[in-house]
Chain A
Amino acid sequence: MTIKGKAYIAGAYEHPTRKAPDKSVAQLHAECARGAILDAGLSKSDVDGYFCAGDAPGLGPMSMVEYMGLKVRHVDSTDTGGSSYLVHVAHAAEAIALGKCNVALITLAGRPRSEGSSGTQPRSYGANAPDMAFEFPYGMATANGYGMVAMRHMHEYGTTAEQLAWVKVAASHHAQHNEHAMLREVVTVEDVINSPLIADPLHRLDCCVVSDGGGALIVTRPEIARSLKRPLVKIIGAGESPKGQMGGKVDLTYSGAATSGPIAFAEAGVKPADIQYASIYDSFTITVIMQIEDLGFCRKGEGGRFVADGNLISGVGKLPFNTDGGGLCNNHPANRGGMTKVIEAVRQLRGEAHPKVQVPNCRLALAHGTGGQLGSRHVGATLILERE
């Protein structure tokens, strides 16, 4: 059994807002849903499957299916943090292959910017989270968790602050062309390493933005996708892999991508060298370097050298990435970057990315998400998509 070729991404929509103080989270989800349904050329009554994660308000699918007045026969609220939406695409393909639904809607939305969220504040998941009592007192936030990963990577492999900075430089080169991006100014390596130190070795410009917003996707079966007027984006491979502290055998030198990537490539029957465009989760610059290594775009430890000198810039380097500006420059709605990773990969395969960053004749793309914390526990999820 495989999902290869069993389902297509027929609709994709990214909410243009980056700050939404006057909207509710449910409203943002619904606006994204409407956008994706319209983009596909479908109507609300066609949707018979609904997928959402922990950002959905209330009791997830129960609350949101009712809010949007959907009539569905399949729901899935798998929550793997920011990688949830890549997992949802794969699970939607599985459900479609099994006949459980025909048109799956996936939504993400949130207002962390309006609500004052920050990557320097520890998040509490309550006393029942088994790790909480052993971590919360120490001030494990987002930035310092990734800081610890970057510190170890530098120690093991000689990765430098300048190499980390190149990831942000590449993202900024793309964001300058995105009218919705929060940060459109092109920055240099010096700008990044001269920005204030947040959690060493990570500087302010090594960190993603905090933004409101959201996005949505429509996944459907081949016959329906072919009946629509949109370019055909076929799902050909997927993998998902949780990774944590392994009972105390902590190893921060690799991520879940080391498992999810090979699973996805094997299912798709393609190699990293075949990929023309990659959406790579970019909560921090180190996240990108780690995943590029683990996905096999270079050898372990060589990610710093791989990303240097503009190698991620579309039209310049070997691996064009995050051509919307990514989480580092464009947006990071609900503090979850997986949805926008899929959306930009779909734009590239449709030929609908900004002309300045469009990869010519893009046939094969990868999207990868890391949900949770590289520094403690996370779920890596990989998708491989093909233009038919």
Chain B
Amino acid sequence: MTTQERAIPAPAPNPENQPYFDACARDTLLVGKCDACGEYHFYPRRICPHCLSDQVQWVAARGTGTIYTYSTMHRGVPVPYTIAYVTLDEGVSMMTNIVGFAPGTLRIGQKVRVQFRATEGGIKVPVFAPA
């Protein structure tokens, strides 16, 4: 890590997604998986976005994936930070931050692994660092 990290604003969970953030507190990344159509989905919900079945499960992801795309915000913010989509090994892509890399070294397709960071409200969220 070569740069100061940005303070992460807290998410505001709702009753549907509270289990996701409860799992983050245990350093576990959950994704949604549907028993009816067999598909994973993200962000996780209690109704499958592929088939509208309510037979959806919370499933622990492996926590590894590759960078689909990223962008570092350089201006208008106190500390530069990098937003990204990471495609998990389960096949779904999620929005996240990439941390713990030297400037100029990121590339699309790079392997990354999940970490958990406390936000300003204390709730933990997943971020990713080069594997």
The distance in angstroms between the C-alpha atoms of A201 and B94, with both chains bound, is 21
Are the CB atoms of B9 and A136 closer together than 8 Å?
yes
Q: Find chain B residues with CB under 8 A from A245 CB.
A: 42-43, 93
Does B112 have its Cβ within 8 Å of any Cβ on chain A?
A: no
Which residues on the A side are within 8 Å of B75 (C-beta)? 120, 196-199, 204
A contacts with B: majority SS: mixed
Q: Find the A residue at minimum CB distance from B77.
A: A120
Contact B13 A127 (CB under 8 A): yes
Total interface residues on A, CB under 8 Å, equals 46
Are A200 and B93 closer than 8 Å at their CB atoms?
Answer: no
Q: Compute how far the CA of A247 lies from the CA of B21 in the bound complex, rounded to whole angstroms.
A: 19
A227 within 8 A of B: no
User: Known: A120-B75, A248-B92. Contact between A152 and B108, CB under 8 A?
Assistant: yes
Determine the interface band of chain B, counting residues with CB < 8 A from chain A: 35 or more
Interchain CB contact (< 8 A) of A139 among B6, B16, B50, B93: B6
Interface string of A146-166 (1 = CB under 8 A from B): 011111100100000000000
Q: Report yes or no: B69 in contact with A252, Cβ–Cβ below 8 A.
A: yes
Within the complex, the shortest CB–CB distance from B82 to chain A, in Å, comes to: 8
- Would A247 and B11 be within 8 Å (CB), given that A134-B43, A147-B71, A155-B108 are in contact? no
Is the beta-carbon distance between A250 and B93 smaller than 8 angstroms? Answer: yes
In the complex, 30 of the A-B residue pairs with CB atoms within 8 angstroms, ordered by the A residue number, are A119-B76, A120-B75, A127-B12, A127-B14, A130-B45, A133-B12, A133-B20, A133-B21, A134-B11, A134-B17, A134-B95, A138-B95, A141-B73, A143-B73, A148-B71, A151-B71, A151-B108, A152-B68, A152-B69, A152-B108, A199-B71, A199-B74, A245-B93, A247-B41, A247-B48, A247-B92, A248-B31, A248-B92, A248-B93, A250-B87
List the 3 closest A-B pairs by CB distance, nearest first: A248-B92, A147-B71, A120-B76
